[in-house]
Structure 1
Amino acid sequence: MKSNFNNKPEISYESPGKFEDTRFEKIHNVIFKNAAQASMIVAKEIADLIKSKQQKKENCILGLATGSSPIMVYEELVRMHKEEGLSFRNVITFNLDEYYPMRIDNNKSYHYFMHQHLFDHIDIKLENINIPDGTVSIEEIKQYCIDYEIKIKNSGGLDFQLLGIGRTGHVGFNEPGSHINSGTRIITLDHITRVDASSDFNGTDNVPKRAITMGVSTILQSKRIVLMAWGQNKADIIKRTIQEDISAEVPASFLQNHPNTTFVLDQSAASELTRFKTPWLVGDCIWTQELKSKAIVWLCQKTDQAILKLTDRDYNNNGMSDLLAQEGSAYDLNINMFNVLQRTITGWPGGKPNTDDTYRPERASPSQKRVILFSPHPDDDVISMGGTFSKLIKQGHDVHVVYQTSGNIAVTDDEALKFAEVGNDFVGMGTAEINFASVIEFLNNKTENQVDSIEVRKLKGLIRRRESFGATRYIGLQDKNIHFLDMPFYETGHIKKKPISDEDITIVAAIIAKIKPHQVFAAGDLADPHGTHEVCLNAIFAAMKQLKPQSYMHDCWLWLYRGAWHEWELHEIDMAVPLSPDEVLLKRHAILYHQSQKDMVMYQGDDSREFWVRAEDRNKHTATLYDNLGLPEYEAIEAFKRFDY
C-alpha cells in the first residue's frame, strides 16, 4: 500500500533554505513540527493497513515497540478504536523485546507497558498478543527464542514494524556489535541504554543487565518499517544512522538496506542532518540573518579563527560562495556578525537604566522590572541561571521564583528515610504534619513496584522545598517572593506523569496575572529525560497565550534558559550574561544547597556529572566560545534566547 509519508501536504517543516537535495541521506525520512503531529500520521498508516487487511479477510501482523516514542501512536489508535470503530480483531502483534529477568506483573515490564498504553483499551484477542517472556528460565531461553521466530514466520511475517532508536543506535535491544543475520536472542544491555532507562527504575543500578530481543534479521524481514525519533537527544545517532556507512556499531544503520523504511522525526531529532545543520554544504540557501549567524559561527569553529580573521577564501572553500557574492566581501560579513554577537553581551539582564537600549538585548525602561523566574524542578533556577538571578536581585528588580513542581520523585528513599528519622526524633517536641514513624515503616518495607504513600511524597516534596529556600536565601531573595505551584500533572508518585490539563495551565496563568511581570524566564531545555521541562514550558506558553490580551502582557518579554542538560548554540543566543569568578562561586554554592540532588543524580540522562559541575562547565565553555570568536574574554557566561509568544 502507498505510505502516507509521501503526501507532501502532511509535512510541515521548512528548512532555512528552500531546497530538496538530500544527497547525504541514505534512508528516506520525513520531518514534522512535533511528535504529536507525526504520531497521528503513523497511527493513520497502521489503521489503514489494518482496515485493508480486514477487507481482504486477512490477519494484520504488527511488530510493536515500547519506550516513549510510540506512546502517542498508541493513544491515537485507542482513540480511533473508541471514537471511529477501528477494530483490532484481525491483528496479531509481536513485541520487539523485554527485559530479562522480568515478571509480567512488574510495572517496569514491557508487558505491563503494552497493556497500559494499548491492549487494555482495544478489542484485540489476548491469544494474538505476543511479548517476549522475561520469566523463561535461562536453560530454556535458546529454544524459546527459536520458537518466537517460528511463530512470526508461521503467522505470515511482519506486515509492519514500528521502531524507536536508542542513543547507542539500537533497534529493539540490538546493541552495538549486533550482526545483520541475528535472530531473536538474549543480549547484554549497553551501559548507555541502562543509563537512559534509569529514570524508569529509580537509578541505573536497578535496570536489568539483560534483555530478550528480536534480531536485526527478523526486523529486516518486515514488509514495512517505520522508525520514530523525537528530541535533541536522538539527533546525533539519527545523523549517524541516516548519513554514515552501515556498521554493526550502529545497528539501526542496517535499515539502509531495507526497501520500504521511513524515519519519522521531529525537528529536534533531525537537527544534526546536514541539510538542516549546514544547509550551505548541500545547495543554495536563502540567507536569513539567523542562517548567516549560524553559518559564520560554524565557519569560525571549522577554521579555528576569530570572526574578523575570516577571508574570502574561507567562505568560498566551505560552501558559502553565494553568501559572499550576496554580501560583497568577507570584511562586511565579518564586521556585521561581530557586532551582532557583541550586542548580545550584557551585565544588565533586566536592562540598563537611563541608557540607549537600541543595541541592547533588554529594554532600559522600566528601570525596575517585575520578574518571574519559572523553575520546573526546585533547582533549575540556580543550576541554569543562578548568576543572572543574583544580578537581577542586586540591580533592584522585583524578582519572583516560581517552582512549578514539587520534585519529590527525584528524592531517593534513603534520603527521605534519613530526614524521616531526624523528624521522628523531634516529634515529641511539637505537632508534626507528617507521621514520621509511618514513613519510616513504609520506606523500610517498600516493595519493588510500590508507589510512595502520600506522606512519603509529602516528605520528599518538603525536602526539595526547604533546599530551595536555602538556595534562594543565599542568592539574596526574600521568602515572600518564592512560590510553589505543585502542578497536578506531576503528582502521580510515578515517573510517568499525567497529561497537562486545564488545571495546570490555570495555576500558571494565575501566578502570572498576580505578578504582572515585565520579564518571564522559563526553561527551554527540553532534553530532560522524563519530560517535565517540556510539560512545564507548554503550560507557560498556553498561559501566556491565554493572558496575551491583558494590557500588562503587552510589555512582557519571555526569555528561555538552558543549562541543566544542554546549552544554546552561539547563533541562537539573544542575551549573554557574563559571570565573574565570584559569581561563579556564588552559583556553585547555591546549587549545593540542593543536597538531596548532590551525590546521586537519579535522572542524569547522558551526563553523569553532578549538576553544579555540568552548569559550571557549560557556562565556562560558552565564555570560551565567545573568546575564540574574538569577543571579550569572561570567566563564564549564562545564555538566553528570546521567544515571541
Structure 2
Amino acid sequence: MKTILERYDTDISYKPVGKFEETRYEKIHNVIFSNSNEASIKVAQEISDLIRKKQASNKTCVLGLATGSSPIKVYEELVRMHNEEGLSFANVITFNLDEYLPMERENRQSYYFFMHEHLFNHIDIPEENINIPDGTVSGESVIQYCLAYEKKIKNSGGLDFQLLGIGRTGHVGFNEPGSHYNSGTRVITLDHITRVDAAPAFLGIENVPRKAITMGLATVLSAKRIVLLGWGQNKAEIIKKTVEGDISSHVPATYLQQHGNCTFVLDVGAGTELTRNKTPWLVDESLQWTEDLTAKAIVWLCNETGKSILSLTDKDYNDNGMSGLLALEDSYDLNIKMFNRLQHTITGWPGGKPNADDTHRPERALPATKRVIIFSPHPDDDVISMGGTFDRLIEQGHDVHVVYQTSGNIAVSDTEALKFAEIAKRIAPSKEAQTIIDSIKTKKESSFDSLEIRSLKGNIRRGESYAAVRYLGLDDANVHFLDLPFYETGTIKKKNLSDDDINLVMDIITEIKPHQIYAAGDLADPHGTHKVCLDAVFEAMERLKEEPFIKDCWLWLYRGAWHEWDINEIEMAVPMSPDQVLKKRYAIFCHQSQKDGVMFQGDDSREFWMRAEERNKDTASRYRALGLSDYAAMEAFVRHKFD
C-alpha cells in the first residue's frame, strides 16, 4: 500500500511546519507553512516547474486560476519569475474559475480586472490564451456560453493544474453549498455569507451581485493536479470540516477528498483547528509534552469535562487520551502548576505594580512610571481591543501615547461623509464643501474616492479618535497619526509594506523610547490591515534592536473584534470592573461613523462595542469556569519575544 505522500503525483517537495501524517481524521493531503508568503512562493515554484516541463516537451500548459486575496502572492511571485528568471507564459492557456454576473470587464470588482492587474498585464501570455467567464452574457445565451466554456477547456486538453481558494461556506469557485459533484460551468446564486464576505470590496452588501458564472465541481475535479490555498484563522473552521469531515454537498470543498492528486497548502492560522494541531494528544500518543502543550491540553480537558482545573482526576486524564502526560506527572501536581500559571497572568497593573515583588507578575515593577505606545491599526482598534487596559494605564500614571497607523478613511461610508460635508457647508459655506457634496452625490458605485473625499473621511476618523481618548483622559499631545502610505490607495487593495511605512514607525518609537508597546496581533482582520501594521512594528523593532532602549522594551499583543487569545496562550489578563466596562463602551461610541452599518463587519452582524464587550466577558467567564477569580470582564495579551 502506498504512503500518503506517494499517492500524490507532484515533483514539488513541500516543506511543512509539521510532518503530515495519515490519520483517522484527515482525508486530504495538506501541508502547513509558517506563513502564507513562504507557502505562496512554493506553490508558484510548482506552477513554474510545470510550465517549464511542458515547454521542454513543446506542449501547452493549461492552468485553472482563482481570484480573491489568497492567490495574490502566488501571482506576484510568478510575475517576479517572469521578470527576473525568464519564465515565459507563451505556451500557457488559462481558464478562470468564475466571474460575477452581471459584471462589466472595466469594473474594478470584476475578476477580469483582478487577473489583469495582478498577473496578465505583467507577463507574456498571448491575449487569446486568456479565458475568463464573461460577466455580461445574459438571457438564454448564458446556457450556451457555459457549455462553450466547458468545451473549450476540453479542447485545450483539460486542466493540467487547478489553483483554488476556499470560502467560509466551503465553496470552491462559486460552487455554493448544495452544488452537485457532477456540476459543470453554470450560473449560480451566491450564498448570503459569500456576499457578506465580498461586501467590503463592493462598499456594501447591497452592491454585491447576487449571481455568478462558475466552473462546476466536475470541471474542477477533472484537473490533473489541484492545489487549494488557505490562509488565516478565519479559514480554520472550514478547513477542518473539509479535511476531516464527511463528503457533503453542504460543504462543496469536501468533494476534493475524491481527487487523487490534491494538496491543501495552509498557513499556521488556517491549520489551527485540525485535530493534529488542536488536540495532538488524540493523534500521537508518543508526542513530547512541553509546558505550553500541557497547558493547552489541561484547558481543553476542563472544557471537555466541564470541571475546574483543581477538580480534574487521573480518570479524566486517562479517559481523554492524556495518559502519556499522566505517566510523567500525577494529576495533583499538574493541576496545581496549571492553576498557578493562570493565576499569575491576572493583574490589575498592566504597567507593572510599583514596590511589589514581580517574580510571578506579567510585567516588571520598574520603572514605576513607564513610557507606553499603543499602536492602533485603525482609528478605533485601541479602545475596541484594549480600552479598559488603556484606561488603567492612564489612571496609574504612565506616560501613554496612542499611535494610529492608518487613516481608516475607506471605512467611512459616503452617507456619513455627506452628512459632515453638509454640516461644514452650513457652518461656513464654501466652494470646497460644495465640490465634495457634489462629488459624493454623483460618485459611481465602482469609482474611487477623490483625494478631497478621502481627506474628509480621514478627518472624520481623526475627530472621533480624539473624542475617544479624551474621554479616557489622554492629552491631545500624546495622540499621533502616521497615515502609513501602504494604506492610502483609496481602495480595499493596498500597497505592499515599504521602507516609507517602516521608517514612520521607527521614528515614533525612537521619539518616545517606550518601555512597553501594545500592538494588534489579531490577524483574522478580514481586510489584512492588522497584519501589515503588525509587520511594520516587528520590522521597525528589528531594525532598532541595537538601540539601548529597545532592549528594555516589552511588546504586548492584543486581539481585536474578531477573535481572542486562547486561555492557555494568555500571558497577561487585565480585569475590568462593571464601571470600566461601561467606560470602554462609551469610548467606543465616540467612533460614531463605525457604529451602525459599518462595511467591515465580517461575518458578525453585531456592532464592534457589542463584540468587544461580550468577548471580554467571555474571557472572564472562562477564567471563572477554570476555578479562578470572578471578574466582570477581562482583556487579554500575549507577550511577543524577539529572538
TM-score category, normalised to shorter length? over 0.9
Q: Distance in 1 between the 2:550 and 2:127 partners?
A: 54
* 2:301 maps to 1:299: yes
What letter corresponds to residue 70 of structure 1 in structure 2?
P
Q: Distance in 1 between the 2:624 and 2:22 partners?
A: 35
What letter corresponds to residue 637 of structure 1 in structure 2?
M
* 2:432 maps to 1:425: no
How many residue pairs match? The answer is 634
Segment of structure 1 superposing worse, 601-610 or 270-279: 601-610
Instruction: State the partner residue of 2:567.
Output: 570
Instruction: State the partner residue of 1:508.
Output: 505
Q: Report Cα offsets for 1:192-232 as digits up to 9, x if no partner.
A: 11111111101111111110000000101111100011000
**What are the residue-to-residue correspondences of 1:464-543 with 2, within 5 Å?**
464-543=461-540
**What are the residue-to-residue correspondences of 1:182-581 with 2, within 5 Å?**
182-283=183-284, 284-327=286-329, 329-428=330-429, 435-581=432-578
Q: Distance in 1 between the 2:163 and 2:134 partners?
A: 20
CA contact (8 A) 1:169 1:175 kept: yes
Instruction: State the partner residue of 1:26.
Output: 27
CA drift of 1:607 comes to 1.2
CA contact (8 A) 1:176 1:249 kept: yes
CA contact (8 A) 1:270 1:276 kept: yes
SS in 2 for 1:551: coil
What letter corresponds to residue 222 of structure 1 in structure 2?
A
Q: Report Cα offsets for 1:460-509 as digits up to 9, x if no partner.
A: 00000000000000011010100000000000001100000001000000
Q: Distance in 2 between the 1:288 and 1:85 partners?
A: 47
SS in 1 for 2:549: helix
Instruction: State the partner residue of 2:119.
Output: 118
CA contact (8 A) 1:162 1:225 kept: yes
CA drift of 1:292 comes to 0.5
CA drift of 1:450 comes to 1.4
CA drift of 1:605 comes to 1.2
Q: Distance in 1 between the 2:138 and 2:334 partners?
A: 67
Q: Distance in 1 between the 2:23 and 2:195 partners?
A: 34
CA contact (8 A) 1:518 1:555 kept: yes
Q: Report Cα offsets for 1:414-435 as digits up to 9, x if no partner.
A: 100000011111225xxx8x92
Q: Distance in 2 between the 1:439 and 1:581 partners?
A: 43
Q: Distance in 2 between the 1:376 and 1:563 partners?
A: 10
What letter corresponds to residue 487 of structure 2 in structure 1?
Y
What letter corresponds to residue 251 of structure 1 in structure 2?
P
Instruction: State the partner residue of 1:179.
Output: 180
Instruction: State the partner residue of 1:159.
Output: 160
CA drift of 1:14 comes to 3.9
Q: Distance in 1 between the 2:70 and 2:336 partners?
A: 44
* 2:630 maps to 1:629: no
Q: Distance in 1 between the 2:612 and 2:537 partners?
A: 24
Identity %: 67
CA contact (8 A) 1:70 1:228 kept: yes
Measured on the aligned residues, the alpha-carbon RMSD in Å equals: 1.2
CA drift of 1:3 comes to 2.1
595, 599, 604: which one aligns with 2:596: 599
CA contact (8 A) 2:372 2:514 kept: yes
Q: Report Cα offsets for 1:431-455 as digits up to 9, x if no partner.
A: x8x9211101100110122111111
SS in 1 for 2:147: helix
Q: Distance in 1 between the 2:129 and 2:242 partners?
A: 33
CA contact (8 A) 1:371 1:520 kept: yes
TM-score (norm 1): 0.97
Q: Report Cα offsets for 1:527-556 as digits up to 9, x if no partner.
A: 111100000000000000111100111110
CA contact (8 A) 1:199 1:529 kept: no
SS in 2 for 1:86: coil
**What are the residue-to-residue correspondences of 1:10-49 with 2, within 5 Å?**
10-14=14-18, 20=21, 22-49=23-50
CA contact (8 A) 2:40 2:74 kept: yes
SS in 2 for 1:24: coil
SS in 2 for 1:603: coil
3, 8, 14: which one aligns with 2:10: 3
Instruction: State the partner residue of 1:589.
Output: 586
CA drift of 1:177 comes to 0.5
SS in 1 for 2:635: strand
Instruction: State the partner residue of 2:5.
Output: none
CA drift of 1:21 comes to 5.4
What letter corresponds to residue 597 of structure 1 in structure 2?
Q
Segment of structure 1 superposing worse, 282-291 or 633-642: 282-291
Q: Distance in 2 between the 1:308 and 1:168 partners?
A: 40
CA drift of 1:12 comes to 4.6
What letter corresponds to residue 43 of structure 1 in structure 2?
A
What letter corresponds to residue 568 of structure 1 in structure 2?
W
Q: Which runs of 4+ in 1 moved over 4 A?
A: none
CA contact (8 A) 1:21 1:282 kept: no
Instruction: State the partner residue of 1:169.
Output: 170
What letter corresponds to residue 60 of structure 1 in structure 2?
C
CA contact (8 A) 2:575 2:633 kept: yes
CA contact (8 A) 1:60 1:159 kept: yes
Distance 1:239 1:468, change over 3 A: same
Instruction: State the partner residue of 2:4.
Output: none
Q: Which sections of structure 1, spanning at least 5 residues, go unmatched?
A: none
CA contact (8 A) 1:4 1:41 kept: no
CA drift of 1:22 comes to 3.5
What letter corresponds to residue 216 of structure 2 in structure 1?
G
CA drift of 1:55 comes to 1.2
What letter corresponds to residue 559 of structure 2 in structure 1?
R
CA contact (8 A) 1:97 1:131 kept: yes
What letter corresponds to residue 442 of structure 1 in structure 2?
S
CA contact (8 A) 2:170 2:177 kept: yes
Q: Distance in 1 between the 2:550 and 2:609 partners?
A: 34
CA contact (8 A) 1:563 1:618 kept: no
CA contact (8 A) 2:413 2:598 kept: no
Q: Distance in 1 between the 2:633 and 2:15 partners?
A: 40
SS in 1 for 2:490: coil
What letter corresponds to residue 63 of structure 1 in structure 2?
G
Q: Distance in 2 between the 1:124 and 1:101 partners?
A: 26
**What are the residue-to-residue correspondences of 1:21-100 with 2, within 5 Å?**
22-100=23-101
CA drift of 1:23 comes to 3.5
TM-score (norm 2): 0.97
Q: Distance in 2 between the 1:223 and 1:2 partners?
A: 9
What letter corresponds to residue 481 of structure 2 in structure 1?
F
CA drift of 1:20 comes to 4.2
SS in 1 for 2:28: coil
Q: Report Cα offsets for 1:577-613 as digits up to 9, x if no partner.
A: 0000000000000000000000012111121110000
CA drift of 1:2 comes to 5.1
